[in-house]
Structure 1
């Protein structure tokens, strides 16, 4: 490992500006020493997207659960010029503040933020949910699937996603409208980095990584799930019939139970202190 990666002199010279961070949480009634899960939402979403179902369900199954709103999202402070590095910084800072070494769970573009954070934080494990890991392949797929919603982001506008892209057919229209009406937007630089950025550095400590999503996701193709899983030496876990926002879909319980079952059935390495 070279000195640049350890010291990161460029980051020391240009530190990320502090910002108020919104962190929502749910804790089990009895603490049995399970690792906490830190949920990271995708672009336009806030911690509210996990508070709807997954936080409480995770705590009910015995795992402390936290969700952070990236800067400029949800109840966190504004950050119109934020970068992917700043988003990853937020995740690392919140993870480091938790009482035990955390499992990082990122959704959509939040999965890319988690992938960058894994190069800076020794997570117990990581889960990438419907991961949008960026690059020109992602850009091309987004243009083909959603040209009117993607092109504005190229010129500094917001990425626009529809009910049909985010949710499966079983999700009631009223719920879909309620969730889409809460969507915000990521910073322009972060959006551009998502579409054109470079691959994240390898994770510190080689934690196990689970990739899951839906083959019927209208935001990213199933081949993107396969590529993401292969990057971490596994195969994706698929949930047919669901949309991109698995944590808000009508069948939200299936993927979160799969995540927690994976953590229970595949013991992860001991905590780094």
Structure 2
């Protein structure tokens, strides 16, 4: 029992959830995609939702509060974001797989401590801490310092995408980016570790060694936390779900799930 959850409940907010159902229902676990800071459900609706559904997986994407079409929440916290994820996951028809991207991977890590997921997937995870801050400051000093002083964390095209993505597409995606709550940004820098996941679900970590947001060493540390090694996709940018070769990582995720990674071997 979490006393704080009762004493100081998270304020409700309108949540945007986009979904695509497979043509044939095969009983596969639903996937709940959680975007990183500044992104909304649209980032997964562009390619990954439809592709996952085409392979038989019910696919949903959530816009965290204050993002996309969800209700405004300028003072949102990581706790509130994790609450949104667990509430949406609990409303899905079957035990879900939680897939978080970027800072959304940190939100998923916290949600896994509250929701008994079928599995977890951390895509280009930004798990926070001062090492993450130092790397961000070296690679994007102006955009990072803005967040330190309460402004938005500004990411540019070269950080998010490979050179393979046409310039017009990249600029279009960047123009859709919003901002996270100020408190959530500070909590990301503080890097509070998530509690252990409920039920010890399998967790897949994947990213790119050429990511200009998440260093390769950070991918390795994240994977070791869950007893594995990262799955790497050289040549891709941070926003793997929108980059030119977006099919490769989502197919790898779905292939992994089709091998039934449930720890007890149940379907």
Q: TM-score, normalised by structure 2?
A: 0.98
**Mean alpha-carbon deviation: is it higher for 189-198 or for 106-115?**
189-198
Give the counterpart of 1:265 among 232, 236, 259: 259
Q: Give the superposed CA RMSD.
A: 1.2
Q: How far did 1:69 drift? A: 0.1
Give the counterpart of 1:159 among 153, 156, 163: 153
Unaligned 5+ runs, structure 1: 1-6
Any idea what SS the aligned residue of 1:106 has? strand
Any idea what SS the aligned residue of 1:235 has? coil
Q: Deviations over 1:82-134 (max 9, x none)?
A: 00000000000000000000000000000000000000000000000000001
Any idea what SS the aligned residue of 1:170 has? coil
Aligned residue runs from structure 1 range 103-182, under 5 A:
103-182=97-176
Distance 1:232 1:95 in 2: 21
Q: How far did 1:146 drift? A: 1.0
Distance 1:271 1:229 in 2: 22
Q: How far did 1:139 drift? A: 1.0
Q: Deviations over 1:50-86 (max 9, x none)?
A: 0000000000000000000000000000000000000
Q: How far did 1:266 drift? A: 3.8
Aligned residue runs from structure 1 range 40-59, under 5 A:
40-59=34-53
Any idea what SS the aligned residue of 1:171 has? coil
Contact 1:139 1:196 in 2 (8 A): no
Q: How far did 1:197 drift? A: 3.0
Q: TM-score, normalised by structure 1?
A: 0.96
Give the counterpart of 1:29 among 23, 44, 47: 23
Write out the 4+ residue segments of structure 1 that deviate beyond 2 Å after TM superposition: 269-272
Distance 2:7 2:138 in 1: 40
Q: Deviations over 1:220-247 (max 9, x none)?
A: 1100000000000000000000000000
Distance 2:52 2:60 in 1: 10
Unaligned 5+ runs, structure 2: none
Contact 1:132 1:220 in 2 (8 A): yes
Paired position in structure 2 for 1:3: none
Distance 1:38 1:165 in 2: 25
Distance 1:15 1:97 in 2: 19
Give the counterpart of 2:5 among 11, 18, 30: 11
Q: How far did 1:269 drift? A: 4.5
